[in-house]
Amino acid sequence: MSELEEAVKFIKSIERKHSGKSTYEIANILRGYTRKAYTTRLWNTATGYDQEYISGEFEGKLNPNNLVVSGEVTDFGHFIAALSDQINQPGIKWSDLNGWTGDYSSWSGDIGSAIVVFRSQHENIRIQTLEEGLNRFARDSDYAADIAAYVVGSLINSRRIGSISQAIIQYDYIPYLNHVRTFIKKRFGTIIKGNSLQRPAILEAQISRSVANLIRFSNIPELWESVQDYLQSESELEFSSLVQPSRSDLLKGSLHFLTHIVNKGGLNSLRFKPYQIPAIPWLGTFNYQVSV
């Protein structure tokens, strides 16, 4: 039995145990089997569900960080946590209300964490360049988890599939390349003609805007509890008011994500002029081009 089959088997057991609960509730219960960083007050607020970390026999059961899903190495714990912020609550389309946290708890949060940690220059954190930070906090396996959470969440919210375990099984059947393209089409409204991504400057601006908004929340201490847990620092890290989003950092972060999208989505290389201010595109672009 593969690692993924083991994980799906465990998820099915939780679904049976909580057969009267919604997929939204089950997703958040599953979050309790990932890691403590995903059961902080911030995560509970973002998802609207108070879930404690579950210790004991099955502690960290859903926390393998190099599990192959849809042919792509995926941080499975990160996927489950991000998924819990993508699934609609019963009765209302909660994901319509928490769309901003759905980004922040996945790809936008990964990029933003790298920027904030690098720019904070805390003595306990030795990250010399932003590129190093991005490669540490926004790995391909993290992006794979983010994209999986979005696509699986969409499958469940559409009611085409009634359980998380079945949605994961279906997701695994389809090549990751297809999922990448589905993600950028549905999340950003991006048009792909053949293997060419159209109007990449607009996509880059959308990514940068989301990350910029996340960084502006960096004065909320709880926002970085997951970063502290990841770094396993015993000291209290103070990120408050230390970082303001710069266009240079945002561009590096968005291009890092776009590199994953282009490479894994089987898309043609990109070359374009980025917007000077992502939130105000009518001010125009820079006079230089960037490449992906």
For 73, phi and psi rounded to 5 degrees? -60, 125
22 pLDDT higher than 50: yes
Report helix, strand or coil for 97: helix
* Mean pLDDT comparison of 105-119, 149-163, 167-181, 269-283, highest-scoring range: 167-181
Please state whether beta strands 192-193 and 196-197 pair in parallel, antiparallel, or not at all (unpaired). antiparallel
Residue-wise pLDDT for 145-166, tens only, equals: 999 999 999 999 988 888 999 9
- Residue 69 reports pLDDT greater than 60: yes
Give me the mean pLDDT over the 215-244 stretch. Answer: 52
Asked if residue 165 lies in contact with residue 11, where contact means CB atoms within 8 angstroms, the answer is yes
pLDDT in tens, 270-292: 999 999 888 777 777 888 899 99
How far is residue 158's CA from residue 204's CA, in Å, rounded to a whole number?
27
Q: Which residues fall within 8 angstroms of residue 236, CB to CB, at 6 or more apart?
A: 228
| Residue 68 three-state SS | strand
Separation between Cα atoms, residue 185 and residue 150, nearest integer Å: 12
pLDDT band, residue 239 (cuts 50/70/90): very low
Q: Is the pLDDT of residue 91 over 80?
A: no
Q: What average pLDDT score do residues 9-13 get?
A: 95
Closest by CA position to 84, among listed 31, 129, 152: 31
Place of tokens 């209302």: 92
Pick from 135, 97, 86, 95: nearest CA to 114: 135
- Sign of the Cα pseudo-torsion (60, 149, 114, 46, in order): negative
Amino acid at site 230: Y
For residue 251, give Cα distances in angstroms to 23, 160, 167, 190, 283. 36, 37, 34, 18, 17
Neighbours of 27 (CB within 10 A): 28
Amino acid identity, position 145: A
Number of Cβ atoms within 10 Å of the Cβ of 45: 13
Is a pLDDT exceeding 90 seen at residue 120? no
Can you tell me the mean pLDDT for 120-144? 85
Does residue 118 surpass a pLDDT of 80? Answer: yes
Q: Is the pLDDT of residue 5 over 50?
A: yes
- Residue 57: per-residue pLDDT: 76
Residue 225 above 60 pLDDT? no
Q: Which residue has the tokens 């282009």?
A: 262
